[in-house]
């Protein structure tokens, strides 16, 4: 259910998660903000003369003035742009990491929360060398923010790994080697916990 009247404009900090071409000139972007996850229709967004050209790139963060009509966000103006998309150009590994975080948000962020927004931007900006360890840490931080993280519901192996992930500093996590089978098993257990809680 929309929290914004169709006839009024509003302003919000948003993250761009994904974008698609809509015809030859327009864009549709999946964005996360006070409305949760919504589609933004950016008229003529791919044309160089558009004020929104290059703005609605994945991972960009901005202050957006918008209207919402029939569940679609219509951008009116943008300010305070933080072009995080440039970070993804640093390396293919960094692009893959940022894409994984954006996909995580699209899959699990069913509503807006200021703490979650800060958590997501923190992970988007992070230069990660050990994807497995930090992806599990993202799950833990997300679940803690929702109040659904409970170590005791997991099996012994997963519990031991998650305790290490949760209690270790970033330097240690960067060096932590995680068995692929255990990683997948733990990931599945976390996903099931979220799905059963939301």
| Token pair belonging to 137 | 């840490």
The Cα-based distances of 39 to 24, 48, 75, 78, 148 in angstroms read 18, 22, 11, 16, 28
pLDDT at 6: 44
pTM given for the model: 0.88
pLDDT at 9: 78
Per-residue pLDDT reduced to its tens digit, 68-120: 888 899 999 999 999 999 999 999 999 999 999 999 999 999 889 999 999 99
Which residue has 């992806």 as its token pair? 135
């Amino acid at each position: 259910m929309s929290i914004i009247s169709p006839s009024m404009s509003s302003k919000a900090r948003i993250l761009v998660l994904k974008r698609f071409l809509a015809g030859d000139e327009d864009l549709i972007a999946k964005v996360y903000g006070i409305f949760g996850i919504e589609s933004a229709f950016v008229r003529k967004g791919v044309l160089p003369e558009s004020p929104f050209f290059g703005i609605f790139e994945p991972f960009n963060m901005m202050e957006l003035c918008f209207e919402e009509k029939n569940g679609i966000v219509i951008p009116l103006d943008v300010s305070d742009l933080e072009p995080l998309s440039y970070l993804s150009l640093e390396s293919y590994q960094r692009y893959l990491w940022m894409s994984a975080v954006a996909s995580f948000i699209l899959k699990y962020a069913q509503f807006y929360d200021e703490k979650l927004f800060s958590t997501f931007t923190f992970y988007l900006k992070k230069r990660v060398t050990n994807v497995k360890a930090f992806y599990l840490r993202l799950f833990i931080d997300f679940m803690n923010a929702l109040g659904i993280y409970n170590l005791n519901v997991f099996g012994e192996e997963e519990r031991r790994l998650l305790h290490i992930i949760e209690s270790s500093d970033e330097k240690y996590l960067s060096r932590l080697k995680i068995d692929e089978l255990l990683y997948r098993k733990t990931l599945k257990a976390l996903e099931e916990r979220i799905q059963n809680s939301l």
